[in-house]
Amino acid sequence: MERHVTIVESTAVPTVPTVASLVWRDELATEVFAATLAQKAALRNAFIALHGDLGAGKTTLVRHLLRALGVQGRVKSPTYAVVEPYELPGLNVWHFDFYRFDDPREWEDAGFRDIFASPGLKLAEWPEKAARMLPVADLDIHLQTDTDQQRLVTLTAHTATGRALVSALPLQRPVPVTILPES
C-alpha cells in the first residue's frame, strides 16, 4: 500500500514583535529609551540605522545612547567627518552620518567596510545615502516629528539581534490623562 507523508512546515510565530511603534513626548522620553537600550547585551554587536528628516532627533538619540553607555565629554555630530569612533571598555562604537557621503570609493578607502565587519555597535544617520554599501540593519529606527514636537517612532527588527534589542522595551507606555473638574 502506498503511503503518503504530509510534511507540515513549522510556522512558529515569533514571540517578539518585529515592528513596534512608540511616541516620545519630549527629549526626556528619548533619554529614557536610550538608557533602556544601553542595558541590552545585544547592543555589543549591532547595526542600528536611524531614519528621519533633518531635525527628526537622530543625533539626539545617539547622544543619549552614548552617554548611557559611558561616553564622557562632547558627542560631536559626524556630518563632516562621516564617522566618529568611540572606544569604551569592552565596546567599540561608531557613529556615522552619511548625509554628505557621495563617493562609493570612500567606503573602502576610509575603512568603512572593515568597521562593518568588526564587532561593536554601529549607529548610522542617513543610511539611505549609503544604501548600496550598507548591510541590512539589525534594527531600523524611524523618527518623525509630530505637530506638537513629539516624535513618532517606529522600530523594525530584521535579525535576531534586532529582535533582542526591541524585546522588553517599554514600548506601549500609557499616557496619563488628567480630567479636570468642570468649573
Ligand X SMILES: Nc1ncnc2c1ncn2[C@@H]1O[C@H](COP(=O)(O)OP(=O)(O)OP(=O)(O)O)[C@@H](O)[C@H]1O
| Residue 128 near which of ligand X, Mg ion, none (CB within 5-8 Å, type-dependent) | none
Stretch (H or E) spanning 20? strand 19-24
Give the span between the Cα atoms of 31 and 33, in whole angstroms: 5
Scored b (16 or more CB within 10 A) or e, 42-55 reads bbeebbbbbbbeee
Residue 25 CB, shortest distance to ligand X, in Å, is 7
Output the residue with the shortest Cβ distance to Mg ion: 59
Residue 143 CB, shortest distance to ligand X, in Å, is 7
| Residue 60 near which of Mg ion, ligand X, none (CB within 5-8 Å, type-dependent) | ligand X
Candidate residues 39, 149, 168, 172; the one interacting with ligand X per rule CB under 6 A: 149
Residue 95 CB, shortest distance to Mg ion, in Å, is 9
Which residue lies nearer to ligand X by CB, 95 or 163? Answer: 95
Cell reading at 29: 522620553
24 binds ligand X (CB under 6 A): yes
Structure-derived torsion over alpha carbons of residues 177, 179, 180, 183, reported in degrees to the nearest 10: 160
Q: Segment contacting Mg ion (CB under 5 A): 63-71, 106-114, 118-126, 157-165? A: 118-126
Candidate residues 34, 43, 56, 121; the one interacting with ligand X per rule CB under 6 A: 56
Residue 166 CB, shortest distance to ligand X, in Å, is 18
58 binds ligand X (CB under 6 A): yes
- Check if the beta carbon of residue 56 is closer than 8 Å to that of residue 144: yes
Q: Using H for helix, E for strand and C for coil, what is the string for 134-181?
A: CCCCCEEEEEEECCCCCEEEEEEECCHHHHHHHCCCCCCCCCCCCCCC
Candidate residues 34, 47, 60, 82; the one interacting with ligand X per rule CB under 6 A: 60
Looking at residue 76, the DSSP 8-state letter turns out to be -
Stretch (H or E) spanning 29? helix 27-38
Residue 44 CB, shortest distance to ligand X, in Å, is 24
* Residues near ligand X, by CB under 6 A: 24, 26-27, 29-30, 52, 54-60, 125, 149, 151
